[in-house]
Structure 1
Amino acid sequence: MLIKPSTITSAVAGLAIPFGKFEGQTPLSSTSMSMGAKFNITKQDESICDAGSRQWTGWVHISDEKSLFFWFFESRSNPTTDPVVLWMNGGPGASSMIGLFAEMGPCQTSTSTTGNNGTYLNDHSWSNFANLLFLDQPAGVGLSSINGSTLGGPDTITEAAEDFNEFLSTFFVEIFPHFSSNPFHIAGESFGGTYVPAFVHYIGMRQHLGIPGVFKTPIQSITLVDAVVDYMGSGPLGEYDHMCQFDKGGNNRLKLGFNETTCRTIELGVPECQRLNNQCIETYDLNICEAAFVYCWKFIDLIEDGGRVIYDDRALCKGEYPLCGLDGNFSEYLNRPHFQRALGLERWNFTALNWDLNDRWGFSKYVYMPTTREMTWILDESPIRVLVINGNNDIIVNTEGQKRVYDALPWNHQAKYRMQKFDDWHWPDQSGKMIKGGQFKTANKMSFASVNDAGHTAPGDQKAAVAFLMACWLSDDKVEACPF
């Protein structure tokens, strides 16, 4: 989630890094590009991404107006049998190139002139044990387009879900049918807590009803990374716990934590925020959920007053709030001519966040809706497993709030899950030494793992630790240290 300074009604994003606006562009023809009626695809080499495995880029044409961009990497291990993991960043409007180039993708961008044309191999990529599929959606986000530009596009989660279903059907049936039998998993970050449960519920219900055209490959699990299924619960209602940790001497244990006056202000507002949020979750009413969001989000504004970075409590804001200079260098790389030529583009002014789409989703009020009902359906009515990963230094989607959200989530094994105590989990470094990674608990199909020394983008902040978690989650052959 990201708060845009101009207006509260456009306040929901994901950790997304804006660099400007798009211009209208069209794909170039290319001799290396395979064309289909519903897609075009180009096999890439390591000149644009030092990946360590085979890779393809392309677009699935959802309609005459909408095209969704994807980047697919084979596993470095055994692509024929390893699972396929689809990754989506949040927003709404954030490009999944954030995850690829700054978090858990096979290659990362370099700040120096070394590396393969601006990238270097990520030794801790999830492609070590999985085939990775990065998707820019909805249409208009990142390298995806709507009418040859980024203006317009889906306004609701339902329309985005329809396009997502169409993308998956085309990808696994027409482009890579030989991967349709691999175990399939979906992961999302930040606003991905809306995308992933809503999309999976949309597909699952249509599979159950036998509706023609629905994506047929079974979904094995979902992973939600610093992701919101309940905005107020995951953010403002956990902020007091996160920022107001006082010891007996009256000192805040968190170096950048709030003082007692600010904490008292938040404390007095929590009951009304909780009441409004309960109504939102119970009714799923747009206006009630918007009212809860507007009331509760003023707590987050206090972070700006204190000069803190909402994505990482270890950092002071340097630059314009709320991004605070967290602008990375991958966007500059994606705008380089050699990179765009390889994709088959010209004059593509890539930005990591589509503010136009973010604004429209904010004004539509759908961004304020929880996905707790969809999560209950996934846990009770489907065989899909759920993994929640959360960075302990994240403020805007804080671990303290997330723990309460999932303890309160109604499902058949809620009581068992709630009663489980958190235990430490550890991961092996290169020398084999076991490092404490955070805490976890699990019951039935639901697992929760917190990550130490990680903010809103946990897979990027703690690459090796989170990669170990995911390898454990996806593997049938668990090593002794695996927490689940």
Structure 2
Amino acid sequence: MKANNLLGGLIALVCASSSVNAGWFPNYEQVILQNDVPAINEGFNLASLPSEVGEAWQEMKQTLSSSAIARLIKQYQAPMSSFPNPKLKFEPVMTQFEALSNDKFSDYSLRIKKNHPEVLGLDAVNQYTGYLDIESLDKHFFYWFFESRNDPATDPIILWLNGGPGCSSSTGLFFELGPSSINSTLQPVFNPYSWNSNASVIFLDQPVGVGYSYTGGDEVKNTATAAKDVFVFLELFFQKFPSFLTNKFHIAGESYAGHYIPKFATEILSHADRTFELSSVLIGNGITDPLIQAGSYRPMGCGEGGYKSVLTEEQCLQMDKDYPKCAKLTKLCYKFQNALTCVPAQYYCDIKLFKPYSDTGLNPYDIRKDCAEEGGNCYIEMNYMDDYLNLDRVKQAVGASNIDIYTSCDDKVFRNFIFDGDEAKPHQQYVAELLEKHIPVLIYAGDKDYICNWMGNFAWVNELDYSGKEKFSTKPLQKWYPQGANGKAAGEVKNYKNFTFLRVYDAGHMVPFDQPENALAMVNTWIQGDYSFGY
């Protein structure tokens, strides 16, 4: 799930935060608080950049207030040891786990706990939980693995990643595509459309600090840093379960996973000595090419995306006027790829192009709905999930009893990525790299999402610079008829060789939540190797 108000991350969350990424340049405080223009890293200074960057920083300065920013920077620069981790209770947990390591990754180890399905009643299949530990950095990544309901010996393996940045993959597990959801009485409800119907699924809480994952030291502040940890996790996972090395392996996710998955997949391919192979990637309602996708907010909100207009004519006209500056700032971010250029790009694009929609009070993940104020991220069901995962018996069962407070989305991780400028950075080039290396890629999008809407995803895939661009971009969309849909179209699809785009009708940001049966049909079709979806 992509955070529903990145502007809030830059304004409201900043004012309550205890961290801001000053690490990109040594005189960050002076750059923001004054009209000083000190030299910064990479050999250029603020005055050398186009005026739009300085204007965006000035606007943020006026919005955030100097005293608030100064306080944040002072807190950020304090030693990490002065910040106790509020998530943790100090309890011994190692005795619950089997542990394994590998000399290739001397600082890493994997803890594994086989769970008894009857304890939590989520599914009858084999289940494992545990942690990837990086001892010297005091980083600990939680995972939950469910074997397939069908034939785990031969069925594919799927690694599922939620977005945020900073949201737990337990959102996917309990809210979207896992074996059970959680009801208002905190009881599991069996999901007949779980993605482990024909695949074994790993749910990984990353970056560190998300969900049941925790750290007493280093934090992850961008997608590139997170990639190595995920690669090592997979190496150790397949070391623990060598029988799965012959199974197809896919990475799937949504939202900010549009950043994660392309980078993680290319990280995997960069290791020639890896012990496992990547079969494909699937990205749902992702944020991958912010430059192009920001341009979709106006048409999606103004009635051109298959739903009525929810913005005024004046707002629509103003957004058309504001996009060129957003694009110019984002191009600078693409060029330099540092916080100095990427933070103001994100700030300007959010305040000019996303805020008009945010101000309506509508659900950013589903344009058809109001945002349920009582529900986490606009969905009351997410509160049930949080409450369930905070039950002591659940923590004990999965080996997370040292976690004091579970939250589905972690503000601290979110802020770290925001102030690194990670959100505005390009990741579509990694998709092109995957395609050139013959890795199949599915980009799917529920067509009632606003924040990472189908129009923006459709636009960037057609503009993707790779060897098959001309053939792919000229392919028409065709009706998608999933198995079991009784001849009713459930979306529109286009494909050229290993690259596929799928629009899913009547689904919001979280396709498996809104269209569970069609989502399962989609993933089953894909993992069976039908990349054209019947064409």
TM > 0.5: yes
Q: For 1:355-434, what aligned pairs fall within 5 Å after superposition?
A: 355-380=411-436, 382-429=437-484, 433-434=486-487
Please tell me whether the aligned partners of residues 302 and 309 of structure 2 are also in contact (alpha carbons under 8 angstroms): no
1:123–1:391: structure 2 CA closer, same or farther, 3 Å change rule?
A: same
Q: For 1:256-405, what aligned pairs fall within 5 Å after superposition?
A: 257-281=310-334, 284=337, 286-298=339-351, 299-319=353-373, 323-326=377-380, 327-344=382-399, 345-346=401-402, 348-380=404-436, 382-405=437-460
Q: Among residues 10, 18, 23, which one is paired with 1:8 in the alignment?
A: 10
1:121 aligns with 2:190: yes
Superposed displacement of residue 321, structure 1:
10
SS at match of 1:297: helix
Superposed displacement of residue 284, structure 1:
4.2
Superposed displacement of residue 163, structure 1:
1.0
- Paired residue type of 2:435: L
1: CA distance, partners of 2:405 / 2:393: 14
Q: Which residue of 2 aligns with 1:57?
A: 129
- Paired residue type of 1:310: P
Superposed displacement of residue 388, structure 1:
0.6
Structure 1 segments unaligned to the other structure (5+ residues): 13-20, 247-251
1:393–1:122: structure 2 CA closer, same or farther, 3 Å change rule?
A: same
1:50–1:167: structure 2 CA closer, same or farther, 3 Å change rule?
A: same
Using structure 2 for the length normalisation, give the TM-score. 0.78
Write out per-residue CA displacement over residues 272-326 of structure 1, whole angstroms, 9 at most, x where no aligned residue: 3334434544554554433332222121101122221111101123328993455
Q: Which residue of 1 aligns with 2:279?
A: 220
Q: For 1:98-137, what aligned pairs fall within 5 Å after superposition?
A: 98-112=171-185, 118-137=187-206
Please tell me whether the aligned partners of residues 389 and 449 of structure 1 are also in contact (alpha carbons under 8 angstroms): yes
Deviates more, 1:415-424 or 1:56-65: 56-65
Which has more radius of gyration? 2
SS at match of 1:296: helix
Write out per-residue CA displacement over residues 409-467 of structure 1, whole angstroms, 9 at most, x where no aligned residue: 100000100000001102244xx623321111000211011111111111211111011
- Paired residue type of 2:132: V
1:470 aligns with 2:526: no
Please tell me whether the aligned partners of residues 282 and 442 of structure 2 are also in contact (alpha carbons under 8 angstroms): yes
1:187–1:363: structure 2 CA closer, same or farther, 3 Å change rule?
A: same
2: CA distance, partners of 1:379 / 1:238: 24
1:72 aligns with 2:145: yes
1:239–1:428: structure 2 CA closer, same or farther, 3 Å change rule?
A: same
1: CA distance, partners of 2:498 / 2:267: 20
2: CA distance, partners of 1:322 / 1:237: 28
Superposed displacement of residue 128, structure 1:
0.8
- Paired residue type of 1:24: L
1:47–1:232: structure 2 CA closer, same or farther, 3 Å change rule?
A: farther
2: CA distance, partners of 1:383 / 1:347: 41
User: How many residue pairs were aligned?
Assistant: 451
SS at match of 2:120: coil
1: CA distance, partners of 2:309 / 2:388: 33
Superposed displacement of residue 220, structure 1:
0.6
2: CA distance, partners of 1:465 / 1:283: 41
SS at match of 1:329: helix
Write out per-residue CA displacement over residues 319-355 of structure 1, whole angstroms, 9 at most, x where no aligned residue: 2899345544111101112111112314531101111
Name the structure with the higher helix share: 2
Q: Which residue of 2 aligns with 1:206?
A: 271
Q: Which residue of 2 aligns with 1:233?
A: 292
1:232–1:394: structure 2 CA closer, same or farther, 3 Å change rule?
A: farther
Superposed displacement of residue 177, structure 1:
1.5
Please tell me whether the aligned partners of residues 232 and 292 of structure 1 are also in contact (alpha carbons under 8 angstroms): no
1:384–1:239: structure 2 CA closer, same or farther, 3 Å change rule?
A: same
2: CA distance, partners of 1:322 / 1:332: 11
1:79–1:26: structure 2 CA closer, same or farther, 3 Å change rule?
A: farther
Superposed displacement of residue 472, structure 1:
0.3
1:48 aligns with 2:106: no
- Paired residue type of 2:127: Q
1:192 aligns with 2:257: yes
1: CA distance, partners of 2:512 / 2:6: 24
Deviates more, 1:30-39 or 1:87-96: 30-39
Superposed displacement of residue 265, structure 1:
1.0
Structure 2 segments unaligned to the other structure (5+ residues): 15-84, 102-108
- Choose between structure 1 and 2 for higher RCO, CA contacts under 8 A separated by at least 6 residues: 1
2: CA distance, partners of 1:262 / 1:320: 28
Superposed displacement of residue 253, structure 1:
7.4
Q: Which residue of 2 aligns with 1:23?
A: 87
Identity %: 28
Q: Which residue of 2 aligns with 1:18?
A: none
Q: Among residues 243, 262, 267, which one is paired with 1:178 in the alignment?
A: 243
- Paired residue type of 1:219: L
1:131–1:160: structure 2 CA closer, same or farther, 3 Å change rule?
A: same
Please tell me whether the aligned partners of residues 283 and 443 of structure 2 are also in contact (alpha carbons under 8 angstroms): yes
Q: Among residues 467, 473, 490, which one is paired with 1:437 in the alignment?
A: 490
